[in-house]
Chain A
Amino acid sequence: MMIKRITELLDRVFRGLFHSKKNIKLGLYGPPNGGKTTLANRIAQDWIGEDVGKVSAMPHETREVQVKEQIEIKSEGKTVTFNLVDTPGIATKIDYEDFVKRGMPAKLAKKRAKEATRGVIEAIQWLDDMDVVIVVLDATKDPYSQVNITIVGNLQARKIPVFITANKTDLSKAKLKSIQDAFPQYEVIGISAKYGKNMDEFYKSLLKYAG
């Protein structure tokens, strides 16, 4: 109860601070293959009709931070302009042989692994620049991975407003409740970035934290 009150107070303080900012840096963070770029593309398509990056089933498709500037989002009479920052997935291990097993030639797989390690470092380095962060988790996966806890804990320590999206709710294996149970002090919005499911609710929450 106490934690919830403190969180609400912090939210109000930060909302006030961001009111005066021109463009809010909105970071998409999370483990690989959670659907960060799919969500970035969904947001950019919804508001400016463009994509941010390439999506693939192969992990670590996004290996560099990608920024799409000047995205004006409107919800419930509010308008906020964002610079959308899509980041590489954060991982604690990267094995080039995993890419080889998925049919990639060894030389390319080693190059991809090297780029992916640099991408993780770059994503972490960008954390300090963010005004608001959405942690994008795959709702079909175990939410208790330490990477998820580390990302959320870091944002909390840096006092960066954060909410969590449980992505891929279109899949039958998706368990929104398990993500809500893992992060009870945070707002969790279930979406399908691929099919645009529940995006109105998502934008409403986003502007609540940033608007």
Chain B
Amino acid sequence: MITLEFIPHSEIEGLPTGKRIKKLLDIAKENKIVLLEGQLGKDEETELIKATMTEINERFKGVELAVLYPDAQELDMLRRLKVNLANMLLGGNRQGLTIIGPAAVVKEIKKNPNKIQLFTKDASRKGGKR
């Protein structure tokens, strides 16, 4: 059985980087696939990779990571302004979706500009398309 856990951005936006990452990684370590609303910062993504490395052992093998970015070219000027204003006022980046899949469950996340495919380990089934 595959468990997906959706985390609204509001759940992490008040947390410092270390706690944000711990929260997300703790869920992944329970073999649940994390679907985070929005994106982590670029420095937070590398912190996530570093934290993942320190947690790897014989049971926890790491994560598969993918971020779906909104197509900035498709946003008109007014919408882009609204998005930037919302990000500034509320903190963080609520646009897009971040997927953190434990390596024990997720074999691979394939991404290209138009679609994303998540392959699970048990039957390499397609989990979804954007």
Number of interface residues of A (CB under 8 A): 26
A119-146, CB under 8 A of B: which get 1 and which 0? 0110010010000000000000010111
Which B residues are in CB contact (< 8 Å) with A154? 42-43, 45-46
Which of B56, B62, B63, B112 is most buried by chain A, counting CB atoms within 10 A of its CB?
Answer: B56
B68 to chain A, nearest CB (A): 10
One of B30-38, B74-82, B84-92, B103-111 contacting the partner: B103-111
Assess the B62–A92 pair: CB atoms within 8 A: yes
Specify the main secondary structure of chain B where it touches its partner: mixed
Assess the B58–A110 pair: CB atoms within 8 A: yes
Specify the main secondary structure of chain A where it touches its partner: helix
Assess the B62–A91 pair: CB atoms within 8 A: yes
Assess the A150–B62 pair: CB atoms within 8 A: no
One of B1-9, B12-20, B47-55, B122-130 contacting the partner: B47-55
Identity of the chain A residue whose Cβ is nearest the Cβ of B62 in the assembled complex: A93
Which B residues are in CB contact (< 8 Å) with A121? 50, 53-54
Does A157 reach chain B (CB closer than 8 Å)? Answer: yes
In the bound complex, CA of A90 to CA of B46 (Å): 10
Does B67 reach chain A (CB closer than 8 Å)? Answer: yes
Which A residues are in CB contact (< 8 Å) with B42? 150, 153-154, 156-157
With A92-B62, A93-B62, A94-B62 known as contacts, the answer to whether A150 contacts B49 (CB < 8 A) is: yes
Assess the A117–B58 pair: CB atoms within 8 A: no
Assess the B53–A118 pair: CB atoms within 8 A: yes
Does B65 reach chain A (CB closer than 8 Å)? Answer: yes
Assess the A92–B52 pair: CB atoms within 8 A: yes
Identity of the chain A residue whose Cβ is nearest the Cβ of B110 in the assembled complex: A142
Does A113 reach chain B (CB closer than 8 Å)? Answer: yes
Point out the residue from B50, B53, B65, B112 that lies within 8 Å of A144, measured CB to CB.
B112
A80-101, CB under 8 A of B: which get 1 and which 0? 0000000000111111100000
With A146-B109, A146-B111 known as contacts, the answer to whether A90 contacts B62 (CB < 8 A) is: no
Does A149 reach chain B (CB closer than 8 Å)? Answer: yes
In the bound complex, CA of A156 to CA of B45 (Å): 14
Identity of the chain A residue whose Cβ is nearest the Cβ of B60 in the assembled complex: A93
Identity of the chain A residue whose Cβ is nearest the Cβ of B112 in the assembled complex: A144
Which A residues are in CB contact (< 8 Å) with B110? 142, 144
Identity of the chain B residue whose Cβ is nearest the Cβ of A110 in the assembled complex: B58
Identity of the chain A residue whose Cβ is nearest the Cβ of B53 in the assembled complex: A117
Which of A95, A146, A153 is most buried by chain B, counting CB atoms within 10 A of its CB?
Answer: A146
Assess the B54–A95 pair: CB atoms within 8 A: no
Which B residues are in CB contact (< 8 Å) with A93? 52, 56, 61-64, 103
Q: Which residues of A contact B (CB under 8 A)?
A: 90-96, 110, 113, 117-118, 120-121, 124, 127, 142, 144-147, 149-150, 153-154, 156-157
Apart from A93-B62, A93-B63, A150-B45, list 17 A-B contacts with CB within 8 A: A90-B49, A92-B52, A92-B63, A93-B52, A93-B56, A93-B61, A94-B61, A95-B61, A121-B54, A145-B111, A146-B65, A147-B49, A149-B67, A150-B49, A153-B45, A154-B43, A154-B45
